[in-house]
Protein backbone atom coordinates (compact mmCIF):
# COMPACT_ATOMS: atom_id res chain seq x y z
CA UNK A 1 0.00 0.00 0.00
CA UNK A 2 1.16 3.48 -0.73
CA UNK A 3 1.02 5.78 2.27
CA UNK A 4 1.84 9.29 3.37
CA UNK A 5 2.63 10.01 7.01
CA UNK A 6 2.47 13.41 8.62
CA UNK A 7 3.61 12.81 12.17
CA UNK A 8 2.69 16.24 13.53
CA UNK A 9 -1.07 16.66 13.94
CA UNK A 10 -0.56 20.23 15.15
CA UNK A 11 2.22 22.78 15.02
CA UNK A 12 2.51 26.32 16.30
CA UNK A 13 4.78 29.14 15.16
CA UNK A 14 5.15 32.79 16.05
CA UNK A 15 4.69 35.41 13.40
CA UNK A 16 7.91 36.10 11.46
CA UNK A 17 9.50 32.85 12.68
CA UNK A 18 10.28 29.72 10.68
CA UNK A 19 8.50 26.40 10.97
CA UNK A 20 9.08 23.00 9.36
CA UNK A 21 6.33 20.48 8.70
CA UNK A 22 7.40 16.90 8.23
CA UNK A 23 6.18 14.31 5.76
CA UNK A 24 7.33 10.80 4.90
CA UNK A 25 5.94 8.60 2.20
CA UNK A 26 6.21 5.04 1.11
CA UNK A 27 6.33 3.98 -2.51
CA UNK A 28 8.27 1.42 -4.49
CA UNK A 29 8.17 3.61 -7.60
CA UNK A 30 11.19 5.61 -8.66
CA UNK A 31 9.35 8.31 -10.59
CA UNK A 32 6.79 10.42 -8.80
CA UNK A 33 5.73 13.94 -7.87
CA UNK A 34 5.39 15.39 -4.39
CA UNK A 35 3.10 18.19 -3.32
CA UNK A 36 2.16 20.36 -0.39
CA UNK A 37 -1.40 21.67 -0.33
CA UNK A 38 -2.79 24.23 2.09
CA UNK A 39 -6.38 24.16 3.35
CA UNK A 40 -7.33 27.39 5.19
CA UNK A 41 -10.57 27.73 7.19
CA UNK A 42 -12.42 28.31 3.92
CA UNK A 43 -11.61 24.61 3.21
CA UNK A 44 -10.34 25.45 -0.30
CA UNK A 45 -7.37 23.27 -1.30
CA UNK A 46 -4.51 25.45 -2.51
CA UNK A 47 -1.32 24.15 -4.10
CA UNK A 48 1.69 25.48 -2.20
CA UNK A 49 4.63 23.76 -3.86
CA UNK A 50 5.53 20.72 -5.94
CA UNK A 51 8.69 18.67 -6.44
CA UNK A 52 9.64 16.20 -9.14
CA UNK A 53 11.42 13.18 -7.65
CA UNK A 54 14.02 13.13 -10.43
CA UNK A 55 15.17 16.63 -9.53
CA UNK A 56 17.83 16.89 -6.85
CA UNK A 57 17.34 20.60 -6.31
CA UNK A 58 14.79 21.45 -3.66
CA UNK A 59 11.78 23.42 -4.87
CA UNK A 60 11.21 26.95 -3.60
CA UNK A 61 8.22 29.28 -3.87
CA UNK A 62 8.81 32.61 -2.16
CA UNK A 63 8.68 31.90 1.62
CA UNK A 64 7.99 28.20 1.10
CA UNK A 65 10.71 25.67 0.46
CA UNK A 66 11.08 21.91 0.74
CA UNK A 67 13.75 19.56 1.97
CA UNK A 68 13.49 16.53 -0.26
CA UNK A 69 15.47 13.48 0.85
CA UNK A 70 14.70 10.78 -1.72
CA UNK A 71 16.61 7.97 -0.03
CA UNK A 72 14.83 8.63 3.25
CA UNK A 73 11.50 9.21 1.45
CA UNK A 74 11.14 12.46 3.32
CA UNK A 75 9.57 15.68 2.03
CA UNK A 76 9.39 18.43 4.64
CA UNK A 77 7.98 21.92 4.11
CA UNK A 78 9.70 24.98 5.54
CA UNK A 79 7.76 28.20 5.94
CA UNK A 80 9.96 31.24 6.54
CA UNK A 81 8.83 34.58 7.96
CA UNK A 82 5.49 33.07 8.97
CA UNK A 83 2.40 35.22 8.53
CA UNK A 84 -1.01 35.05 10.15
CA UNK A 85 -2.46 34.06 6.78
CA UNK A 86 -0.34 30.93 6.79
CA UNK A 87 -2.57 29.41 9.47
CA UNK A 88 -4.21 26.38 7.87
CA UNK A 89 -4.16 22.62 7.51
CA UNK A 90 -1.24 21.50 5.41
CA UNK A 91 -1.44 18.28 3.46
CA UNK A 92 1.46 16.40 1.95
CA UNK A 93 0.67 14.32 -1.14
CA UNK A 94 2.36 12.37 -3.89
CA UNK A 95 1.51 10.84 -7.20
CA UNK A 96 3.41 8.15 -9.05
CA UNK A 97 3.77 8.02 -12.79
CA UNK A 98 3.04 4.34 -13.16
CA UNK A 99 0.22 3.83 -10.70
CA UNK A 100 -2.49 6.07 -12.07
CA UNK A 101 -3.03 9.74 -11.53
CA UNK A 102 -4.59 9.77 -8.06
CA UNK A 103 -3.00 11.93 -5.41
CA UNK A 104 -2.25 10.11 -2.14
CA UNK A 105 -2.70 12.45 0.81
CA UNK A 106 -1.50 12.42 4.39
CA UNK A 107 -3.85 13.26 7.26
CA UNK A 108 -2.58 16.80 7.53
CA UNK A 109 -0.85 19.10 10.00
CA UNK A 110 -2.76 21.96 11.55
CA UNK A 111 -0.56 25.07 11.70
CA UNK A 112 -1.34 27.79 14.19
CA UNK A 113 0.38 31.17 13.77
CA UNK A 114 0.50 33.36 16.87
CA UNK A 115 1.09 37.13 16.86
Residues 6+ apart with CB under 8 A from 5: 23, 24, 25, 26, 106
Asked if 11 is part of the footprint of another protein (rule: CB under 8 A), the reply reads: no
Q: How far separated are the first and last CA of the chain, in Å rounded?
A: 41
Binding another protein (rule: CB under 8 A), the pick from 12, 18, 30, 44 is 44
Binding another protein (rule: CB under 8 A), the pick from 15, 63, 102, 112 is 102
Contact residues for another protein, defined by CB under 8 A: 4, 35, 37, 42-47, 50, 91, 93, 95, 97, 100-108
Amino acid sequence: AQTVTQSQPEMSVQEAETVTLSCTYDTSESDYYLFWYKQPPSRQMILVIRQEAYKQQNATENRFSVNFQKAAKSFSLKISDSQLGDAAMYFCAYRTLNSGYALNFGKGTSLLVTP
